[in-house]
Amino acid sequence: MTNLLQIENLSVEYKTRRGIARAVDNVFLNLEENKTLGLAGESGCGKSTLGLSIMRLVPHPGRINEGKILFNLDESLIFEGGSVEKGQIDLMQLDDNQMRAIRGRKLAYIFQDPMTSLNPLIRIGDHFTEIIQAHEEDVKKDEAINRGEEILETLGILPERITDYPHQFSGGMRQRVMIGLGIALRPRLLIADEPTTALDVIVEAQILDELATLKKQFNLSMLLITHNLGVLAQTADDIAIMYTGRVMEIAKTESLFEDPKHPYTQCLLKAVPDVRKPDKTLAWIAGAPPDLIDPIPGCMFRPRCEFAMEICATQPPPLEKLDTGQRVACYLYTKGVSKK
């Protein structure tokens, strides 16, 4: 399988008045073509920062301070005043114009709250036209509208509603429109940041289903960011669990649910309700993540971990591949380490 995206040693910091918060810390991740990678973890663990880094859109006062974001570009892109050659490229090395060409055409980001991304004064059709014509200048307005109508239909919205304004849609429909605008340029990678968090469970299930259909139809790869592991159970091929900016575990979805290795993953799963097991006792994780501005030495999960050992206070545990295929950053699995 080819890697569409390969993140190596990525670190992102926010420089605040209180000090520097390392929101993404030494992250390595792979996403294969046509696969969905789920990214989960508690609020503030760096999921959105990681997603926005791939777009090179980390908000001020954030900064990517090291790492590679390798993207497998399937065709050369030529635009006024420049180009990007096809092949494996490091997004970190591109200038702003090259990055703008890749965004939209090859990468798309869907934000949690559609109303912040949709202009209330502009009809849905004009949103489609604007996005499509910004990157494909030869496309006429009629053709852009037709494409928009087709996409709306795939997402279960009547094509004639393309003349409506955003406020005329329900929350679920607006989120569908956002997804539609995201895929209007047929990107290779769709980053969906909590795409269903604000919606009720029925609409959430429908939208997840539609995302899966779109993924097949358009040969998309997806990075699905959520704090809800239940959402990933149905949609992700692989799941990465983040904590305090670090990846703690990466595994195939099935393995992660059946045999979670990292103590943090185990705690997260105990907090997921299961409709098939209404008697399941839900457990929350006592304590809160440590302050990113004043991090503790060693494993950041240590104060909340029931298995903490002496070595856990020394260095952060490296992410290591186990014989079972999972990658885990925990000294419980490091060979030759005293388990006391």
Ligand X SMILES: Nc1ncnc2c1ncn2[C@@H]1O[C@H](COP(=O)(O)OP(=O)(O)OP(=O)(O)O)[C@@H](O)[C@H]1O
Residues that bind Mg ion (CB under 5 A): 48
In the list ligand SF4, ligand X, Mg ion, none, the entry touching 67 (Cβ below 5 to 8 angstroms by class) is none
CB-based contact 294:19 (threshold 8 Å): yes
Question: Judged by CB under 6 A, does residue 243 bind ligand SF4?
Answer: no
Q: Is 47 in the site for ligand X (CB under 6 A)?
A: yes
Q: Under the criterion CB under 6 A, does residue 317 sit at the interface with ligand SF4? A: yes
> Positive or negative CA dihedral for 323, 325, 326, 328?
positive
CB of 331 to ligand SF4, least distance (A): 4
Rank residues 48 and 255 by Cβ distance to Mg ion and give the closer one. 48
* 332 lies in the binding site for ligand SF4 (CB under 6 A): yes
**List of long-range contacts for 71-79, beta carbons under 8 Å, 24+ apart:** 71/4, 71/5, 71/102, 71/106, 71/107, 71/189, 72/2, 72/3, 72/4, 72/5, 72/33, 73/102, 73/106, 74/188, 77/101, 77/102, 77/105, 77/106
* 269 touching ligand SF4, by CB under 6 A: no
Q: How far apart are CB 298 and ligand SF4 at their closest, in Å?
A: 7
Binding to ligand X (CB under 6 A) within 283-312 occurs at 292
Q: How many residues sit close enough to ligand SF4 to count as binding (CB under 6 A)?
A: 13
What residue 172 binds from Mg ion, ligand SF4, ligand X, none (CB within 5 to 8 A, per partner kind)? Answer: none
In the list 69, 305, 319, 327, the residue contacting ligand SF4 (rule: CB under 6 A) is: 305
Within 13 A of 10's CA, how many CA atoms are on the CB side?
32
Pick one of ligand SF4, ligand X, Mg ion, none as the site partner of residue 23 (Cβ within 5 to 8 A by kind).
Answer: ligand X
Residue 293 contacts ligand SF4 per CB under 6 A: no
Q: Work out how close the CB of 100 gets to ligand X at its nearest, in angstroms, rounded to a whole number.
A: 22
Check: CB of residue 249 under 8 Å from CB of residue 240. yes
Cβ 27 to ligand X shortest distance, Å: 12
The entry of ligand SF4, Mg ion, ligand X, none that residue 332 binds, CB within 5 to 8 Å by partner kind: ligand SF4
Alpha-carbon Rg for the chain in angstroms: 21
Residues 57-76 that bind ligand X (CB under 6 A): 59, 61
Separation CA 229–CA 38 (nearest Å): 9
Q: Distances in Å between the alpha carbon of 197 and those of 41, 129, 144, 179, 285?
A: 14, 28, 30, 14, 21
CA dihedral 325, 36, 112, 166 (to 10 degrees): -170
Q: Who contacts 272 (Cβ-Cβ below 8 Å, separation ≥6)?
A: 229, 230, 282
Does the footprint of ligand SF4 cover residue 268 (CB under 6 A)? no
Residue 123 interface partner, choices Mg ion, ligand X, ligand SF4, none, CB cut-off 5-8 Å depending on type: none
CB of 285 to ligand X, least distance (A): 14
Per CB under 6 A, which of residues 6..35 are in contact with ligand X? Answer: 14, 16, 21, 23
Q: Does 326 bind ligand X (CB under 6 A)?
A: no
Contact positions toward ligand X, by CB under 6 A?
A: 14, 16, 21, 23, 41, 43-49, 59, 61, 227, 292
Contact positions toward ligand SF4, by CB under 6 A?
A: 263, 299, 301-302, 305, 307-309, 312, 317, 330-332
